[in-house]
Structure 1
Amino acid sequence: MLANVEKCSRHLLVFDKSNFSCARSRHRQHVQAHHYNYRVSILIPECGVMPSAVTAVSRTLGDYYLVKQLPLHEILEPEFINKFVRKGFLYALSYNTRIDQDNCAAVLPTGKLILSVDKDTYEELGLEGQPSTYSHKTTVRYNVTVDLGTAAFVPGEKRYNRVMWALKEKKPLTFDFLMSWHPSGEEEATLPSYFTKYQCKVYQPTVSTRILNATDCPVLLSHELKGKQSEFCSSQEFLDWLGAVFNNIDCNNQADSFLSTYCCPWPSTIMDKACLCTISGFIIPEGINLLLDQLRVYFEEPKLAQWVSMTVHGFADSPVSWGESEHGYHKGGENFYNFVLFSNQDYWLHMAVGTHSGCPP
C-alpha cells in the first residue's frame, strides 16, 4: 500500500489572476478552448437560493444528443460536413470509451477530427499520424488529425479519398457519440433529422441545487494569495477545500483516531448559508460563457458575499483537454478549470490536468 502511495502521479495546475474588464483578459478564450464538459458547479456564499437569472440560463443551455453505433465514415460524408461542420460549431465525443485502453474519437468545433487509437488500429488504418506524447518506452498509441472543414477535403481529392477508404473499407470504426451543434446562423437542419438511420436520443442538462448550512470557509481577498508575505490560503488549498464542499466532506475534523484528517484552510470564517448548483450533461463552451456573464452581473447590486465560484469539469477520457492539446488518462484523469469571481470584477482562474496531458494555456 505504501509503495502505491509513493507512486501517485503528480498533476499540473496553472493559475491566472486578472480582471474581467481588462482588455488583455483571456477568460473567454480559455472557456472556448475547453471543448468537452460534463458538469458545472456554481457555489455562491451567503445565499439561500440560487439567483433566478442564473437558474434561467442553466435551464436553457441547449439540447445534446447520443447517437448510438455511428460508423465514423458518416461524419466524412459531404452532406454532413456542409450542413454541420462548415455552418456552425459541432462538438462530438465518443461515449464510454477509455483513453488509455480503447479507440477514441472527437470532432472539435474548429472542424478537426481527432482520433486516438491503439497501435494495431493505427497500422490497419494506414493514415498519417503522430505517436502519443504519453506512450511508454514502446509506442502503444497514436493520434490522427483530419481537418474536415478545409476546402480541399472533398470527394475526388487525394486526402479525402484516402481517409474515406481507410474508415469505410480498410478499418471501419463505430462509436456511440455525444453530440451538440451550435449553428452560426439560422439553420433548419438538426442532428436527429440527419441521423434517421441510427438511434439518436435527445437530452437536456440536468440541474440540481443544494443549500449548505454553517460551513467553514476560507477567507478570500482578490489581491491576496498565499506567498512569502501572505497568510491567506494558496490556490491549491482553495481547490482542496472546494472539492471537499462539493463532496459533502466535513471540513472541521479533529486529529483523534483518524489516519488522516482535513480542516478548512486558515484564516477561515463561517458561511451561514451557501447555495451549490450543479449542472450535468454535455455542456458546450458557448453555454458556459453565458453562465459566466450572468455570475458577473450578480455583483451589480450589493451582496454579503465577496466572491462566487464556478468549476467546470471536463471528461476524464477526452482525447484533448484545451484546444488540440493531448489529454492522457493515467490515474486521476484530471481535466477541469475553476473561476473565482470577486465583487470588484477581479477573478482567479485555476486550470488543472493530469501528468499525462498537455499543459493548459
Structure 2
Amino acid sequence: MYPELDKCPRSLLVCEKSNFEHEKSRHDTHVSKHYFNHKVSVVIPGCGALSSRLATVINNFSKYFLVNNLPVYEFLDKDFLKNVVWDGALYALSYKTSIDQDNTIALLPSGQLILSVDKDTYEQLGVEGKPSQYNHRQPMRYVVTIDLTDKSMAPEGKRYQRVLSSLKERVPLKSDFLLGRHNSGADGDRALQSLLSRYQWKEHRPVVSSHTLKDLPCPSLNALDLRGDQRSCDPHSFLEWLGAVSAGVSCDNTAASFLSTYVCPEPQTLVSQALHCTVSGLLLPEDIYSLLQELQRFFDEPKITSWLSLTVHGFMDSPVSWGDAEHGFHKGGENFYNLVLFKNQDYWLHMGTGSHDRCPP
C-alpha cells in the first residue's frame, strides 16, 4: 500500500585500509575530528574480561556536565572566552534537540560556534549564515558558523558586540547543554565553575557496561580483504553483525527461534567466548584515542583472535559529523565510525553518514 516504506534509508559508508605505523595513516585525525560521541562499543573475540589496563583507560574517561536552560550568549562571556574557549578542548552540544525540528547548537573545541536554526530564527538573528544542505525546494533551515577565536570576535570589537546583541537581545537562544572539557587548567576550571554556578547543572560520568558472550559465531576477517571478495565478509555484512551483537540478537538462526532468522555472515568461526564492552555518555575524542592506543597494544602478547573491533557512535542530532561538516538526520541519522584492528597493526576504518552529509575526511 505504501511502497516508500519498503525503501531503506540511503546512507554513505566509506571504507579504508591502512597500518597504524604508516606515516600517512590518518586514524588520529579521524578520531580527533569526530567531536560529539555518545557511545563506544568494543568487541574482542576469544576474550572473557577486560584487562586491568583497558579497564583503567575506560574508567578514566572524562566527566561531563548537563546544564539546564543555558543561554547561548554565555559562551561569549569575556572570562569564559579567554580561559575556556580560547584554551581549546571544550565540547558543548544542545541536549535533546532534534536537528530536523529544533534549533540545535554546538561549540566545537576549535572555537567555532555552530547554530543550526529554522528560517524565522535566522531572519531575526541578523547574523550571516548559509542555507542548510538539508533544505528542500525553498530554504527553511540555515547554519550560522561563528569563529570565536577570530580577531573580529575580540571583546569590545564591533562584530563581537553585534553577535552578542543578537544572541542576548534579538533572539535569546537557550537550551539544555552537555558540556565536556579535556584539559582542565586552573583558570579554565574557575571560569567553567563560574558559569555553572549561575544555572542548574549536574555532573555525570560515562556509564560502562561489560559482559561475556558464550559460543558466538564470528566473521572470519583477513586484513588484506577489506571488500570481502573471498577471505572476509563484506563491510556492510560485518557492521550488521556488530549491530546484532550489540542488540543481543542471536546470530545462529536456530530452528527453535521465532524472533530472528539472522545468521552470522560467511566465512565464520565459532568462538567459545567474546567480550562486549560499551561506554555511553558525552565521550571526548581524546579519551577515545587513549582507548584506541591501548587496544593497539592488545596484540603485544599472543592472542587467540586475529582481530578486534572499536565502534564509535556520534550523536544523531549533532549539527556536525567530522570537523565542521554539516550533519542532518534525514532518515537514519547515521554518524559513526568503526575500526577493526589486526595483529600486524593493520586496520580497517568504516565511516558512516547520511546520504546528504559531506563525505567523511
**Superposition TM-score tier, normalisation by shorter sequence:** over 0.9
Structure 2 partner of 1:75:
75
Q: Which residue of 2 aligns with 1:103?
A: 103
**Cα 1:178–1:206, aligned 2, differ >3 Å: closer, same or farther?**
same
Cα RMSD (Å) of the superposition? 1.8
Shift of 1:250: 1.1
The 8 Å contact of residues 214 and 271 in structure 1, kept in 2 or not, is answered as yes
User: How far apart in 1 are the matches of 2:3 and 2:360?
Assistant: 30
Quickly say closer, same or farther: Cα 1:56–1:38, change in 2 above 3 A. Answer: same
Distance 1:194 1:324 in 2: 25
CA distance in 1, matches of 2:199, 2:8: 42
1:231–1:298 CA distance, 2 compared to 1 (3 A): closer
Query: Corresponding residue for 1:158?
Result: 158
Q: Structure 1 66/260 Cα, relative in aligned 2: closer, same or farther at 3 Å? A: closer
Code of the aligned partner of 1:175: S
- Which residue is equivalent to 2:197? 196
- Is 2:99–2:328's contact at 8 Å kept on the other side of the alignment? yes
- Kept in 2, the 8 Å contact 1:38–1:282? The answer is yes
Answer yes or no: is 1:32 the counterpart of 2:32: yes
> Percent identity, aligned pairs only?
52
**Structure 1 residue 165: Cα displacement:** 0.9
- Superposition pairs of residues 52-131 of structure 1, within 5 angstroms: 52-131=52-131
Are 2:235 and 1:219 equivalent residues in the alignment?
A: no
Structure 2 residues not aligned, in runs of 5+: none
Q: Using the alignment, how far apart are the partners of 2:310 and 2:347 within structure 1?
A: 11
Structure 1 segments unaligned to the other structure (5+ residues): none
**Which stretches of structure 1, 4 residues or more, deviate above 6 A after TM superposition?**
255-260
Q: Distance in 1 between matches of 2:287 and 2:293?
A: 10
Return the offset for 1:187: 4.6
Deviation at 1:257, TM superposition (A): 10
Contact 1:84–1:183 (Cα < 8 Å) also in 2: no
Moved more, 341-350 or 81-90: 81-90
Equivalent-residue separation in structure 2 for 1:259 and 1:184 (angstroms)? 48
Say whether residues 1:177 and 2:177 are aligned partners.
Answer: yes
Q: CA deviation at 1:9?
A: 2.1
Q: Is the 8 A contact 1:89 1:184 kept in 2?
A: no
Shift of 1:351: 0.3
The Cα shift of 1:305 comes to 1.1
Matched, 1:22 2:22: yes
Higher alpha-carbon deviation: 135-144 or 246-255: 246-255
Q: How does 1:304-323 map to 2 (within 5 A)?
A: 304-323=304-323
Kindly state the Cα deviation for residue 151 of structure 1 after the two structures are TM-superposed. Answer: 2.9
Letter matched to residue 282 of structure 1 = L
TM-score scaled by length of structure 2: 0.95
Q: Deviations over 1:334-360 (max 9, x none)?
A: 110000000110000100011232221
- Contact 1:192/1:200 (8 A) holds in 2: no
1-structure distance, mates of 2:92, 2:17: 31
Instruction: Provide the C-alpha distance between the structure 2 equivalents of 1:338 and 1:181, rounded to a whole number of angstroms.
Output: 24
Across the two proteins, how many residue pairs are aligned to each other? 360
